[in-house]
């Protein structure tokens, strides 16, 4: 019989709060963390929003040890992991006895450190390069730092599938438990906000330009792009029986995951089909039919093409029931957090199931008429949620979907 995967704890640091409950409450209340980012030094581009965590202080989460070896991404992940471990009841004593794993999804790793290291060497000479910064230039650095900080000696992996990395990491970790004999794996994603990635997305024309819309609104007719954010979201995944045996509090269950890649990159039909396949594979993996899904956390972030492709795919797969399944899009408030996005969506879905309240899509008064008729939630609503689907549609054709079911006994 296939092993079941329980979620026994969660940790999040985001621009809308550093606990799952605070994040969820902010989202339900329609708070946005997207603000005008002053990037006037980036050669004149204006009017772009960002979801940077303005007041992140690593010291408030990581006490008593020297923080110099950690860069911003490292600090976020180490701090987020600490919150998730605490939430799941894994103490330092337990971690000393048992090798817990870590799977981190990230699009860029520590891009700012990579660039800073390179520029310092260019400007001052290679002899002035920082050894400590070099250790953080590998994309798996944050996962390594987190393992050192929290004594995580199990399977440690880093996954990059673009902005779908967080969900990809959750699927990868799920399979380590189901097929590779692992019993406890911390999994999720993180990406920092830095001017290098901001500049890159901005020069690629992917960011929201405030025109008729002040903020990026997924599925809106006037959407022009997304707002870049940052976050870390980590979930403790455990083999069900082992979690029960140690008396863990089971918050929810990950039932299945699916993925696909749109290798055409030009053919909209294939793009839609890849999203349909990922969702269908996730449901198939969960042993569920589309009819059983009670809520969808969409990946939509205000991107013109990807939002439409996702909507068309949802209608295609859910067909008869698509008009009734409520759909939310939390990137309307938190922005596009890249590697963290899928894990933030998963965390908020668990909170939705616990609270029976689904956040609305901020600013979506009326959906884009070009999109199919779907049940887009424009405001928070009460919901009796049993099975939710989370989508992560990357900017480069990667698609991941995850099915999460409510845990035993609502809190």
Partner 1 sequence: MDVEAIRAKVKESIFKVTGIEAATISDSAVYVAELGLDSLSILEIAVSVEEQFKFHASDEELSAIRTVDDTVELVRRRICAAVA
Partner 2 sequence: MSAKPTVVVTGIGMVTSIGAGRHEFWNALLAGTCGFAPVKSFDTSAYSVHLGAEIQNFKAEDYVRTLDVNSIGRSSQLAIAAARLALADASLDLTEIDLEHAGVCGGTTSGEPQFIERFDDHYVHDELRKVGREFITGYPCHVVPCHVAMELGFSGEAMMIPTACAAGNYAIAHASDLLRARKASVMLAGGADSFSRITYTGFARLGAIAPEVCQPFDRNRKGMVPGEGAAMLLLELKDHAIARGARIYCEVAGYGLSCDAHHMTAAHPQGEGAARAIRMALDQSGIAPEEVDYISAHGTGTLTNDRLETIAVKNTFKKQAYKIPISSIKSMLGHTMGAASAIEAAVCALAITEGHIPPTVNWKEQDPECDLDYVPNVARKHNVRIAMNNAYAFGGNNSSLIFRARAV
263 interacts with partner 2 by CB under 8 A: yes
Question: 301 is written with which tokens?
Answer: 């972030």
Q: Which of 3, 22, 30, 42 binds partner 2 (CB under 8 A)?
A: 42
92 interacts with partner 2 by CB under 8 A: no
80 interacts with partner 2 by CB under 8 A: no
101-105 β-sheet, strand order: 101-105, 184-191, 231-239, 5-14, 252-261, 398-406, 387-393, 295-297, 326-328, 375-376
Range in contact with partner 2 (rule: CB under 8 A) among 11-19, 175-183, 217-225, 316-324: 175-183
41 interacts with partner 1 by CB under 8 A: no
Cα distances (angstroms) measured from residue 66 to each of 70, 71, 75, 78: 9, 12, 11, 13
26 with 351: CB under 8 angstroms? no
Give the nearest distance from C-beta 257 to partner 2 in angstroms: 9
SS3 358: strand
The whole-angstrom separation of Cα 248 and Cα 93 is: 16
Q: Which of 37, 56, 90, 117 binds partner 2 (CB under 8 A)?
A: 117
Give the nearest distance from C-beta 1 to partner 2 in angstroms: 14
User: Which of the residues 125 through 154 are near partner 1 (CB under 8 A)?
Assistant: 127-132, 135
CB count in 10 Å sphere of residue 133: 20
183 with 241: CB under 8 angstroms? no
Select from partner 1, partner 2, none the partner in contact with residue 396, using the beta carbon and a kind-dependent cut-off of 5 to 8 Å: partner 2
Number of residues located near partner 1, criterion CB under 8 A: 12
Range in contact with partner 2 (rule: CB under 8 A) among 4-12, 80-88, 101-109, 384-392: 101-109
Q: Which of 21, 54, 67, 304 binds partner 1 (CB under 8 A)?
A: 67
221 interacts with partner 1 by CB under 8 A: no
CA-closest candidate to residue 114, choices 131, 133, 140 = 133
245 interacts with partner 1 by CB under 8 A: no
- The residues binding partner 1 (CB under 8 A) are 66-69, 124, 127-132, 135
């Amino acid at each position: 019989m296939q092993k079941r995967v329980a979620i026994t704890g969660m940790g999040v640091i985001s621009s809308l709060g550093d606990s799952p409950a605070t994040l969820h409450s902010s989202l339900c209340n329609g708070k946005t963390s997207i603000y005008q980012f002053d990037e006037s030094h980036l050669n004149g581009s204006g009017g772009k929003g960002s979801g940077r965590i303005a007041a992140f202080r690593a010291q408030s989460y990581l006490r008593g040890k020297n923080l110099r070896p950690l860069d911003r991404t490292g600090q976020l992940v180490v701090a987020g992991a600490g919150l998730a471990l605490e939430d799941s009841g894994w103490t330092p004593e337990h971690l000393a006895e048992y090798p817990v794993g870590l799977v981190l999804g990230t699009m860029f790793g520590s891009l700012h450190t990579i660039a800073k290291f390179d520029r310092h060497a260019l400007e001052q000479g290679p002899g002035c390069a920082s050894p400590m910064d070099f250790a953080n230039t590998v994309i798996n650095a944050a996962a390594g730092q987190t393992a050192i900080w929290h004594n995580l000696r199990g399977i440690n992996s880093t996954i990059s599938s673009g902005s779908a990395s967080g969900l990809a990491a959750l699927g990868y970790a799920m399979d380590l438990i189901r097929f590779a004999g692992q019993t406890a794996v911390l999994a999720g994603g993180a990406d920092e906000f830095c001017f290098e990635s901001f500049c890159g997305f901005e020069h690629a024309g992917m960011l929201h330009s405030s025109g008729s819309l002040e903020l990026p609104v997924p599925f809106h007719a006037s959407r022009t792009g997304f707002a870049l954010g940052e976050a870390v979201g980590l979930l403790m995944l455990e083999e069900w029986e082992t979690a029960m045996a140690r008396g863990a509090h089971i918050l929810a269950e990950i039932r299945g995951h699916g993925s696909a890649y749109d290798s055409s990159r030009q053919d909209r039909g294939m793009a839609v089909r890849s999203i349909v396949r990922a969702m269908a594979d996730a449901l198939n993996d969960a042993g569920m039919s589309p009819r059983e899904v009670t809520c969808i956390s969409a990946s939509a972030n205000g991107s013109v093409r990807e939002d439409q492709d996702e909507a068309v795919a949802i209608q295609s797969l859910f067909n008869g029931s698509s008009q009734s399944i409520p759909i939310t899009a939390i990137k309307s408030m938190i922005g596009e957090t890249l590697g963290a996005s899928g894990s933030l969506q998963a965390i908020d879905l668990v909170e939705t199931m616990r609270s029976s309240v689904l956040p609305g899509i901020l600013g979506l008064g009326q959906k884009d008429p070009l999109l199919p008729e779907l049940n887009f939630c424009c405001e928070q609503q009460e919901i009796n949620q049993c099975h939710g689907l989370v989508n992560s549609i990357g900017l480069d054709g990667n698609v991941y979907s995850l099915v999460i079911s409510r845990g035993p006994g609502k809190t």
